[in-house]
Homo-oligomer: A and B are copies of this chain.
Amino acid sequence: MIALQLTTEGRLKHFLTVEGLSRNLLTEILDTAESFVGGPGQPIKKVPLLRGKTIVNLFFENSTRTRTTFELAAKRLSADVLNMSIATSSTAKGESLLDTIRNLEAMFVDMFVVRHNISGSAHFIAQHTAPHISVINAGDGQHAHPTQAMLDMFTIRQIKPDFAKLRVAIIGDILHSRVARSQIQALNTLGAAEVRVIAPKTLLPTHVESLGVSVCHSLTEGLKDIDVIIMLRLQKERMASALLPSEAEYFKCFGLTESKLKIAKTDAIVMHPGPINRGVEIESSVADGPQSVILRQVSNGIAVRMAILSMAMQPQGGG
């Protein structure tokens, strides 16, 4: 895994998972992203770093928001972007994933940004693609969503620069969340004082402690001493599968309200990967309130993805 992501010189080649990457490398990503950010409220300037390169957004699973930020990041780096939504494409003609990849390689593209509903898809493509091509994981099944985790880290660091002092709570459906998995790995690698998961038992993986987290089944209890609150999106289809009683019941126990927010530290920030289910996992007034940094996460997504795209596309022979 680690070897697959790095060149022999230890530079980023693919970005598939946060797992196994060093604190130095994660910090380099955050620092590079920093360099793309303008002043406060300033848009990101267009730079010619990837001029002449072709990036393929290879989305086997629909996601307007993630695809859009990758597309904007690529365009701000002056790359050409090819959007391929594969559900409606030649897989309909029975072409296998590998044949699709081989054909795109043959078209001289430089990078795949892959979103797939099957865990491990991005790894599979990275293992089998041509040596000059980089692969970025934009979410694979329930496995990982590493660029989301890195933009979350970037947002945290902007406001609370010292991870060693931070207690972070991740709240919601940990069991099915690729975002949570990547966040936990990133927070531990960056040395957060504590990563606490708060969820009903039915939405936690077995042996969840082995991921390096503390566990709490009550929101009221779990929010004590917390600096950073990360809400997860509740997939409504979980309701049908009997893992959850009802939206109203879930909101009562695990929804973040203004009164519950007061349990955390007074300067705690509230995060959410979006899209938000208002009134299900989070109260509207909290999502839009002064402690929320949810939209800042979206903004930071562009700079962080620019950092990852440009780092992975550096010439491999370099020092």
Q: How many angstroms from the CA of A168 to the CA of B106 in the assembled complex? A: 24
Within the complex, what minimum Cβ distance (angstroms) separates A34 from chain B?
16
Assess the A82–B72 pair: CB atoms within 8 A.
yes
Q: Tell me the nearest residue of chain B to A110, going by C-beta.
A: B43
Assess the B106–A299 pair: CB atoms within 8 A.
yes
Q: How many angstroms from the CA of A276 to the CA of B82 in the assembled complex? A: 23
Q: How many angstroms from the CA of A93 to the CA of B233 in the assembled complex? A: 11
Within the complex, what minimum Cβ distance (angstroms) separates A111 from chain B?
12
Q: Is A312 part of the contact surface with B, judged by Cβ < 8 Å? A: no
Copies in the complex: 3
**Given known contacts A43-B108, A72-B82, A277-B94, is B103 in contact with A89 (CB within 8 Å)?**
no
**Given known contacts A45-B52, A103-B274, is B108 in contact with A299 (CB within 8 Å)?**
yes
Assess the B45–A99 pair: CB atoms within 8 A.
no
Query: Which A residues between 67 and 93 are near B, CB-CB below 8 angstroms?
Result: 68-69, 71-72, 75, 80, 82, 84, 88-90, 92-93
In the complex, what residues of B have CB within 8 A of residue A290's CB?
Answer: none
Q: How many angstroms from the CA of A291 to the CA of B14 in the assembled complex? A: 31
In the complex, what residues of B have CB within 8 A of residue A252's CB?
Answer: none
**Given known contacts A52-B45, A80-B75, A82-B71, is B299 in contact with A93 (CB within 8 Å)?**
no
Q: Is A260 part of the contact surface with B, judged by Cβ < 8 Å? A: no
Q: Is A315 part of the contact surface with B, judged by Cβ < 8 Å? A: no
In the A-B complex, the 6 residue pairs with the smallest Cβ-Cβ separation, listed nearest first, are A106-B298, A43-B108, A95-B275, A64-B89, A106-B295, A106-B299
